[in-house]
Amino acid sequence: MKNLLVILSLLVVNTVSFAKVAYLPLFDAHDLTNIKEDSILVIDLDDGKLLKKIRVGNGVGAVFLNSQSDKLYASAKDDNKIVLIETTTLDIVQEWTGLAIKPEQIILNKADNVLYFSEYNHDSIYQIDLVTNQISIALTLPGFQRFWFSDNLDTIAFKIHDVITGDYNLHVYDLNDMSPDFVRLVGDTYSYFIDNDGLRFYYPYFGFGRLYSYNYNDFVENWYFSYVYAPGPLGGLNDTFANVFPLQNNKILAVGWHGAYEVDKDTGVGVRISGRGNYNNPYQRITEYTFLKASRPELPFCGVTPPGLDCNNYFPLQVFIQNHQTSQEVMVYEQDRAGTYAQGRYVGEKLYSVPVIPLLSTPLLLVLIMLLLVFAYKTRLSQY
């Protein structure tokens, strides 16, 4: 009997597992007069099942997982509120209400002990000390618009607009202690991507189909990369870039509207590896070459309503797993009249407790357990 208990314990331990999960803020529109942005959908990316819909508050959009994926911070900007969700239970366990600004962007530091939040076009960045639970102003940067951060959470850059000169500057800080590194004059580009090495950043030159690499320390251009994806009336049409991710082989993965490209970080030489692209939709890495892509809420364009087209019907929320090694794209979840404005870090893992482990419900495992019980019973009878 003791041996049986050991075997059963091993089976139970082996069935405890993690699954990839997406925590997506939900834009839900039953009709144009009943639009809600108040919940987070928790979706199992392995089987596409909806695990839970968590009511957070008005204007939910910014979310951020800690490094262990067991705590999710989510903001309800229109309620001036941030909540903490335990991902093991999917319950809200703490709230910070009455915040001085709308938390439109949130980010954790690398140690998971400070949560920063900011409002677009607001001069101050606030912090919540998660050890003491104290809220204070972390930085005041006049003209501050929004921030970007490196994948490894070592560096954060704030874009500042000088309304007198019209200049845009990147103020770069160490995200571990919020100490300043340097300031660089930049153009007002669509977005910036910070390299994990802390030496380079990238930005797309919108309208020209170029991805630029610049040095932080002297703002010297390293290179630009472009790719002609189709012929055009005045020459080739260049792809437009929307996302950049570091790779482990001294390359970056640049994702454009019409494909994905591996580009050497030192030379700027790149090749197209996938026909799958993305533009301005929520896009988050799952593994090195696989990504979650979700659709934003959009309305069909309606002047005179065409027959059969519902202009009150938002395009459905569709969640895809996109693989740039195979060029495959698989839809794992869909919901009508919905979309997501997910910002931050929202793909992680969830620990499944034993009662809901799919393996425990498989016939093979149940048969094995029954055989072990019968064997134990016979063994015990033979001892008498």
Q: Is residue 375 part of a domain?
A: no
CATH number at residue 23: 2.130.10.10
Instruction: Output DSSP code: residue 47.
Output: T
Q: If you average pLDDT over residues 233-257, what whole number do you get? A: 90
Q: Quick one: pLDDT at residue 302?
A: 56
Q: Tell me how crowded residue 223 is: count the other CB atoms within 10 A of its CB.
A: 17
In tens, the pLDDT along 89-111 reads 999 999 999 999 999 999 999 99
* Cα–Cα distance for residue pair 317/332, rounded to 1 Å: 11
Pick the closest to residue 271 from 226, 314, 305 (CA basis).
226
- Evaluate if residue 35 carries a pLDDT over 60: yes
Q: Note whether residue 44 is domain-resident.
A: yes
Angstrom CA distances, 45 to 17, 19, 331, 347, stand at 14, 7, 10, 9
Rounded Cα distance between 222 and 267, Å, is 8
Average pLDDT, the chain: 84
Mean predicted confidence (pLDDT) in 249-277: 95
Res 221 pLDDT > 50: yes
Domain extent for 125: 17-352
Identify residue 151 by its one-letter amino acid code.
D
Q: Which residue has the tokens 């009150």?
A: 312
pLDDT band at 282 (very low <50, low <70, confident <90, very high): very high
For residue 284, pLDDT beyond 70: yes
Q: Does residue 202 sit within a domain? A: yes
Q: Tell me if residue 343 falls in helix, strand or coil.
A: strand
In a domain, 3, yes or no: no
Q: What is the pLDDT of residue 33?
A: 63
CA separation (Å) from 118 to 107, 112, 133, 174, 336? Answer: 9, 17, 17, 17, 31
Number of domains comprising the chain = 1
CB neighbour list of residue 301: distance below 8 Å, 6 or more residues apart: none
CA angle, 56 then 103 then 202, to 5°: 115
- pLDDT category at 1 given cuts 50, 70, 90 is low
Residue 376 lies in a domain: no
Mean pLDDT calculated for residue range 43-57: 95
Quick check: 264 pLDDT over 50? yes
pLDDT at residue 184, as a whole number:
77
pLDDT band for 13, please (50, 70, 90 cuts): very low
- Segment 111-130, tens digit of pLDDT: 999 999 999 989 999 999 99
Confidence band (pLDDT; 50, 70, 90) for 14? Answer: very low
* Res. 262: pLDDT tops 80: yes
Cα 322 from Cα 116, distance rounded (Å): 30
Pairing of strands 343-345, 60-65: parallel
DSSP 306: P
Per the CB < 8 A criterion, the answer to whether 239 and 230 are in contact is no
Contacts of residue 218, defined as CB under 8 A and 6 or more positions apart, other chains included, come to none
Pairing of strands 260-264, 251-256: antiparallel
Rounded to whole angstroms, the Cα distance separating 62 from 70 reads 17
Give the model's pLDDT for residue 297: 82
Question: Residue 208 and residue 295: Cα distance in Å, rounded?
Answer: 25
Question: What's the average model confidence in pLDDT over 325-342?
Answer: 92
- Binned at pLDDT 50, 70 and 90, residue 352 comes out as confident
Cβ burial 243-281 (10 Å sphere, 16+ → b, else e): bbbbeeeebbbbbbebbbbbbbbeebebeeebebbbeeb
Secondary structure (H, E, C), 91-150? EEEEEECCCCCCCCEEEECCCCCEEEEECCCCCEEEEEECCCCCEEEEEECCCEEEEEEC
Average pLDDT of the segment spanning 361-370:
54
Check residue 159 and give its pLDDT.
86
pLDDT digits (tens, 9 = 90+) for 246-259: 998 999 999 999 99
Give the pLDDT score at 342: 94
Q: Assess whether pLDDT exceeds 70 at residue 376.
A: no
Give the pLDDT band of residue 12 (cuts 50, 70, 90): very low
> Is 166 or 78 the better-scoring residue by pLDDT?
78
Count H helices and E strands in the chain, helices first. 2, 32
By three-state DSSP, how is residue 292 classified? strand
In the predicted structure, residue 10 carries a pLDDT above the cut 50: no
Report the predicted TM-score, pTM, of the whole model to 2 decimal places.
Answer: 0.83
SS3 label, residue 24: strand
145-162 pLDDT, tens digit each: 889 899 999 999 888 888
Residue 8: inside a domain: no
Average pLDDT over residues 336-362: 73
Cβ-based neighbour number of residue 382 at 10 Å: 7
**Is 6 a domain residue?**
no
Pairing of strands 241-246, 91-96: unpaired
Total Cβ atoms within 10 A of residue 216: 20
pLDDT at 245: 94
Do the beta carbons of residue 243 and residue 301 sit within 8 Å?
no
Q: Is residue 382 part of a domain?
A: no
* Each residue's pLDDT tens digit, 166-218: 888 888 899 999 998 878 777 666 678 888 887 888 988 877 899 999 887 77
Residue 17 has pLDDT above 70, yes or no: no
